[in-house]
Amino acid sequence: MPEVKLASEYGFCYGVERALEIVEKMRKKGVEFDTLGPIIHNPQVVAELEKKGIKAVERIYDTPKPYILIRTHGVPPNVYKEAEKLGKKIIDATCPFVANAQKMARKFQDEGYLVVVVGKQHHPEVKGIVGNTNGKAIVVGSGEEAKKVDVRGKKVGVVAQTTVRLDLVQEVISEFLEDAKEVRFANTRCNTTQKRQDETREMAKEVDVMVIVGGKNSSNTRRLYEIAAKNCKRAYHIEKKDELRKEWFYNIDKVGVTGGASTPPEIVREVYEEIKKILFKGGTYGGEKGDGE
């Protein structure tokens, strides 16, 4: 009989849950606000909020409302100043792990370190961290990029985008060890991310098919998918159960399911239940092959 395994931790992480609680609290108080960018990288959640009248705006002056909510990714300090200039009040839902990365980058900068952020240059979280160093921090996304940073005789302070892989941080740091005068690393990675990545890796090694649930634009979900694809021949990244295809599960023994930190837990659960239906009720196990991919 085939087996469907659900990760022990899936669905909203602490930071996202906290941000959504802040949204609800503010709504109940009757505070009028929009969010600066989508509150989380999940289209269903963003659509739900829109129905409640809370829009994701690109810039602060795009909202006519008196309050603007800063999402978990955080923002550079100039955004707070801009809000003040425009007479808007801030509801700050920056995840505490992200706020810590911003703080550590500022600290390194103040202590005269060359700040290096390991992460994705254009990710909003990284932009917020770099903004906390007056734009001076250097962002590197690979060991190759780290090689190009001139660290000769310098004190280097490394911080990480919260969702970054540990092996990438190690790769970057090892490039600095020979030439830098000193290298310090503030481990600003988030526990949730690490735990989910570890579990995904282990699960992917064990199963025949791995299904990762979450927004296609969610960095942490995509990372889970990358890890799954590296360790399992058949890994799929979907946003909701309708995207499942019977042929993925033809003649297999084990399926693993997990979800990104911005994925509502019920959506992961729905996918898990649907796979069980396909396997046990749909008769795909050892049965007719589907329509092809």
Q: Which of 192, 197, 200, 218 binds ligand SF4 (CB under 6 A)?
A: 192
Helix segments in the chain, DSSP class H? 14-28, 43-51, 77-85, 96-110, 124-131, 143-147, 166-176, 191-206, 219-231, 265-276
128 binds ligand SF4 (CB under 6 A): no
Residue 125 CB, shortest distance to ligand SF4, in Å, is 8
- x/- track of binding to ligand SF4 for residues 59-78 (CB under 6 A): -------------x------
Active site residue 288: no
Tell me if residue 13 falls in helix, strand or coil: coil
35 binds ligand SF4 (CB under 6 A): no
The stretch near ligand SF4 (CB under 6 A) out of 28-36, 106-114, 165-173, 187-195 is 187-195
Compute the distance between CA of residue 111 and CA of residue 117 in angstroms, rounded to an integer.
Answer: 16
162 binds ligand SF4 (CB under 6 A): yes
15 binds ligand SF4 (CB under 6 A): yes
Q: Which of 75, 90, 98, 183 binds ligand SF4 (CB under 6 A)?
A: 98
200 binds ligand SF4 (CB under 6 A): no
218 binds ligand SF4 (CB under 6 A): no
- Taking residue 284's Cβ as centre, other Cβ atoms within 10 Å add up to 21
- Amino acid symbol at 160: A
16 binds ligand SF4 (CB under 6 A): yes
Nearest to 75 by CA among 55, 53, 59, 54: 59
- DSSP sequence for 99-152: HHHHHHHHHHHHTTPEEEEES-TT-HHHHHHHHTTTT-PEEE-SHHHHHTS--T
- Residue ranges in 233-262 that form contacts with ligand SF4 under rule CB under 6 A: 261
Compute the distance between CA of residue 236 and CA of residue 216 in angstroms, rounded to an integer.
Answer: 11
Catalytic residue among 125, 199, 239, 274: 125
13 binds ligand SF4 (CB under 6 A): yes
Number of residues this chain uses to bind ligand SF4 (CB under 6 A): 14
Compute the distance between CA of residue 151 and CA of residue 168 in angstroms, rounded to an integer.
Answer: 18
Residue 12 CB, shortest distance to ligand SF4, in Å, is 8
211 binds ligand SF4 (CB under 6 A): no
136-140-142 Cα angle (round to 5): 170
Residue 162 CB, shortest distance to ligand SF4, in Å, is 4
Q: Which of 102, 220, 258, 263 binds ligand SF4 (CB under 6 A)?
A: 220
Largest CA distance in the chain: 65
**Looking at beta carbons, which residue is closest to ligand SF4?**
15
Q: What six digits make up the tokens of 261?
A: 């930190």
The stretch near ligand SF4 (CB under 6 A) out of 104-112, 170-178, 188-196, 280-288 is 188-196
Compute the distance between CA of residue 276 and CA of residue 99 in angstroms, rounded to an integer.
Answer: 40
Q: Binding residues for ligand SF4, per CB under 6 A? A: 13-16, 72, 95, 97-98, 162, 190, 192-193, 220, 261
- Residues tagged active-site: 125
